[in-house]
Amino acid sequence: MESTLRLKNDSKAIFSEDNHWRVIVIPASAQVTLVDGDIEQDRFVKIRYQGKVVLILSEDLRRGIGLLSDQSST
């Protein structure tokens, strides 16, 4: 099941591109989709943002940076 989240605050995420890790800032109010991981147990989870799958700290989502806005099964 994928969850759609809307961020309340800016958050940093990382992704690999051309064998290099890149850091991006995802702005407040951005809509992201949780695609893999458990925000209660995993240190990082995979989210989809602007067509890219990136890693974000689970703690950022647990601390209220992300609010659950929708759930849909895939």
28 or 67, higher pLDDT: 28
Place of tokens 């099964």: 73
Predicted local distance difference test score (pLDDT) of residue 23: 96
User: Would you say 13 and 49 are in contact if contact means Cβ atoms under 8 Å apart?
Assistant: yes
Based on its alpha-carbon atoms, the radius of gyration of the chain, rounded to whole angstroms, reads 11
What is the band of 73 on the pLDDT scale with cuts at 50, 70, 90?
very low
Q: How far is CA 68 from CA 2, 6, 11, 23, 32, in A?
A: 11, 7, 16, 24, 10
- Beta bridge partners of residue 14, listed in sequence order: 23, 55
pLDDT digit string, tens, across residues 16-63 = 999 999 999 999 888 889 999 998 899 999 999 999 999 999 988 777
Domains annotated on the chain, with CATH: 2-72 (2.30.30)
- What's the token pair of residue 39? 């925000």
pLDDT at 72 over 60: no
67 or 39, higher pLDDT: 39
